[in-house]
Amino acid sequence: MTRGKIIYRYAQRVLFWAFAALFVVSLTRLIILQVNYQRDIHLYDDIRDAYATVQPAAETAPAVDEAASGGGEAGAGASVGEDESAGGGAPGDGDDAAAGGDGPDAASSGEAASAGGEASGGAAAPGGGGAAGGGGAASSPAPPGEAPVLTIDLPALREINPDIVGWIRIPGTNISYPLMQGESNQTYLRSAYDKRDASSGSIFMDYRNARDFSDQNTIIYGHNMKNKTMFGSLKNFRSLNYIFQHPYIEIYTEGSLRKYKIFSVINLEMDDKVYYNLRFTNKERYRSFLLELVSRTVADPGLAFTPNDPIVTLSTCSAGTETERLVVCGVLDSVVFDAAPDDAAPDDAAVEGAVPEGGGTEGAGADFP
């Protein structure tokens, strides 16, 4: 056998075993991914069964139900009305952050001060109040014909993990998850509610937002999973008919249920100003921000609201480029409170649904999933 044939056969064997090893590694990774995929599908089933009790729609009215100033009926197009309250706040500097984040895996370079903590001992104001205190599970009856409501045992959930700030649900969809908030936007990007590693991560609030939902723009993130878990079904809201069939985003906190009505669905880049504007120094700037959200929507349900109305922004990855995101924005429509111990009614600010001034803008260095 010639030297050339020996080298040739040796090379064949090396290539064969190299491809065999590559095949085994790839197959192993595929099996692991499939196991994790199936595990993630059922990851939250147990916690829903244990801590989120479904109740049928009640025939009676809720104990306290203060409607926010917005959330009007669907019309020919969304509109943002003028602020009717006295004084629009002092003009401020620009509300956009000066510098952007570095992408989904960027580490934050600093934390912005959050406005307010969890309120205690009273009802919160629609459009900026904290969660009602007094402990206990968050629950509320629903008018006849509406989707069944949940009773969320938040105290028990917080014994599992104090980072659980509430529960998010979109009735009629599979979006029903504990809502987390970590020290950064990376904390729950690949971690479940109990901090176990999970490729699907968690649904979590931006670490810069106030836990009591007092910011004018509260951002909530979730992965766009192919198995339709987490925020994998948000893409359906590009259809106006789907919005009409599933108009509300529900946020359960301890003692209250906030209902936001969807008004805008936007495809944008991850460095978009939406992610930098959480608070505004005056209502005119906030009004301009809302008008821009309405003008950019791919599906306009035609709601009417004012700069008194805070919003939530649900954000997930898009099927486009790595930097493209899909956001679904909802404006506060109503807040339903559990009866306070003294049956105290909300103050004037709560009835008006006024958004507190102050807080300004966030600084640079935010990290966006």
pLDDT tens for 131-178 read 333 344 454 444 434 567 788 999 999 999 999 999 999 999 999 999
Question: Measuring CA to CA, which residue among 285, 258, 256 is closest to residue 357?
Answer: 285
Euclidean distance between CA atoms 366 and 212, whole angstroms: 20
pLDDT value of position 79: 61
Euclidean distance between CA atoms 183 and 224, whole angstroms: 22
Q: What is the pLDDT of residues 200-235, one digit of tens each?
A: 999 999 999 999 999 999 999 999 988 889 999 999
pLDDT band at 305 (very low <50, low <70, confident <90, very high): confident
329 is catalytic: no
Mean pLDDT confidence for 300-320: 89
E strand residue ranges, 99-163: 149-152
pLDDT band at 107 (very low <50, low <70, confident <90, very high): very low
pLDDT at 313 over 60: yes
pLDDT band at 38 (very low <50, low <70, confident <90, very high): low
Mean pLDDT confidence for 346-352: 33
Share of the chain above pLDDT 90, in %: 42
pLDDT value of position 7: 83
pLDDT at 358 over 60: no
pLDDT at 180 over 50: yes
Range with the lowest mean pLDDT among 24-33, 236-245, 357-366? 357-366
Euclidean distance between CA atoms 233 and 256, whole angstroms: 26
pLDDT band at 290 (very low <50, low <70, confident <90, very high): very high
Cα–Cα–Cα angle for 23, 27, 28, rounded to 5 degrees: 120
Euclidean distance between CA atoms 107 and 299, whole angstroms: 33
Tokens of 111: 């934390």
pLDDT band at 351 (very low <50, low <70, confident <90, very high): very low
Share of the chain above pLDDT 70, in %: 64
Mean pLDDT confidence for 294-320: 90
pLDDT value of position 1: 65
Q: Which residues neighbour 140 within 8 Å (Cβ) at sequence distance 6 or greater? A: 62, 149, 256, 257, 336, 337, 338
Q: Which of 124, 299, 317, 331 is catalytic?
A: 317
DSSP 8-state code for residue 275? G
Read off φ and ψ for residue 45, nearest 5 degrees: -60, -45
Class of domain 42-352: mainly beta
Averaged pLDDT of the chain: 73
Q: What is the pLDDT of residues 1-35, one digit of tens each?
A: 677 778 888 888 888 898 999 999 988 888 876 77
Contact yes or no for 290/307 (Cβ under 8 A):
yes
Count the Cβ atoms, other than its own, within 10 Å of residue 22: 10
Q: What is the pLDDT of residues 49-89, one digit of tens each?
A: 888 887 765 543 444 444 443 444 434 456 666 554 433 33
pLDDT value of position 147: 64
DSSP 8-state code for residue 112? P
**Greater model confidence, 36 or 246:** 246
Contact yes or no for 127/334 (Cβ under 8 A):
no
Euclidean distance between CA atoms 277 and 215, whole angstroms: 10
pTM to 2 decimals? 0.68
pLDDT value of position 78: 60
Cα–Cα–Cα angle for 110, 113, 116, rounded to 5 degrees: 150
